Structure 1
């Protein structure tokens, strides 16, 4: 039986940082590679097109996430 993983559980952050188990199926369904980016506000992965990935990497959202991680350490 599966258990519910809530904030504060040691496995919570690991679960949020893991891409969905069906990522290969989703990629095959649309016919191209599906990219995932960590949402800096929500702290969970979301899908991104190639254009969204470029904007994420070069538009500041990735740097924002890195800065947040530095604060957590």
Structure 2
């Protein structure tokens, strides 16, 4: 029965790690859209740099949260 509990921990942690893949796609989407906008209007790119970093930070925070959930599922008793 103990092995079944460990299986559940590993399965849950693996599923929680899917959020990290979503965060990576989100950061790529934010950076790609910024680059597309900067190439269309280079004079406005400098004013949007702060927005780029805020968007990346929010997207990456979700990945960090999913990583913490995975660690909690693995090592919490």
Fold equivalence (TM over 0.5): no
- When Rg is computed on C-alpha atoms for both structures, the one with the higher figure is 2
Question: Greater share of helix residues, 1 or 2?
Answer: 2
TM-score by length of 2: 0.29
Larger proportion of strand:
1
